[in-house]
């Protein structure tokens, strides 16, 4: 089972920690830093990964909220949301990285994993792992 992780580059350190924790709990993660090779067609490879993923984590942060609609992280959300609409299933799992981050309208009614503090990280990481390992989309 592969989980695609979408994030703003400004959040890379926190996302790398999240990915390490997810992998330590047996979650198979598609991460651009590991899975994109020099010379790859960036747009095509990302779209293929999103369409093949069992789950799609959208890491929401203040940086995410400030990005323009044409940024990669917003394009990834758009592709994932379009896939959900087309297939009639929920694949997107929102993760809030910092306090004050607003969950986008497309996924605002979803339960999200808040890992914005160490306490919330400890409390919500197990819930996130359970959601990612579920056999059907959330």
The set of catalytic residues is 76
Tokens of 69: 């609609």
Asked whether the beta carbons of 53 and 91 are under 8 A apart, the reply is: yes
Q: Is 126 exposed, middle or buried (0-12, 13-18, 19+ CB in 10 A)?
A: exposed
What's the rounded Cα separation, in Å, for the pair 83 and 137? 12
Going by the DSSP 8-state scheme, the letter that residue 133 receives in this structure is: H
Asked whether the beta carbons of 4 and 55 are under 8 A apart, the reply is: yes
Q: Is 38 exposed, middle or buried (0-12, 13-18, 19+ CB in 10 A)?
A: exposed
């Amino acid at each position: 089972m592969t989980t695609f992780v979408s994030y703003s580059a400004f959040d890379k350190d926190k996302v790398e920690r999240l990915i390490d924790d997810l992998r330590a709990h047996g979650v198979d993660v598609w991460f651009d830093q590991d899975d994109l090779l020099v010379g790859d067609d960036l747009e095509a490879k990302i779209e293929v990964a999103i369409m093949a993923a069992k789950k799609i984590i959208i890491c929401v942060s203040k940086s995410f909220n400030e990005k323009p609609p044409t940024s990669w992280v917003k394009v990834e959300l758009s592709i994932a949301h379009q896939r959900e609409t087309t297939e009639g299933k929920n694949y997107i799992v929102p993760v809030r990285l910092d306090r004050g981050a607003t969950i986008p309208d497309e996924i605002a009614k979803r339960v999200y994993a808040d890992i914005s503090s160490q306490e919330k990280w400890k409390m919500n990481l197990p819930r996130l792992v359970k959601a990612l390992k579920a056999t059907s989309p959330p």
